[in-house]
Amino acid sequence: MITIIIVISLLQACSFFEKKIEYEPFVKALDEGDMKKV
| Side chain identity at residue 13, one-letter code | A
Walk along the chain (38 residues) and give the pLDDT tens digit of each residue: 788 888 888 888 767 776 766 667 777 777 766 655 54
**Predicted local distance difference test score (pLDDT) of residue 1:** 72
**Predicted local distance difference test score (pLDDT) of residue 11:** 80
**Predicted local distance difference test score (pLDDT) of residue 38:** 46
**Predicted local distance difference test score (pLDDT) of residue 34:** 60
Beta-carbon contacts of residue 10 (< 8 Å; ≥ 6 apart): none
Please count the other Cβ atoms lying within 10 Å of the Cβ belonging to residue 29: 14
**Predicted local distance difference test score (pLDDT) of residue 12:** 83
Tell me the whole-structure pTM to 2 decimals. Answer: 0.41
Beta-carbon contacts of residue 30 (< 8 Å; ≥ 6 apart): 38
Query: Where in the chain are the domains?
Result: 1-38
User: Quick one: how many helices (H) and strands (E) in the chain?
Assistant: 1, 0
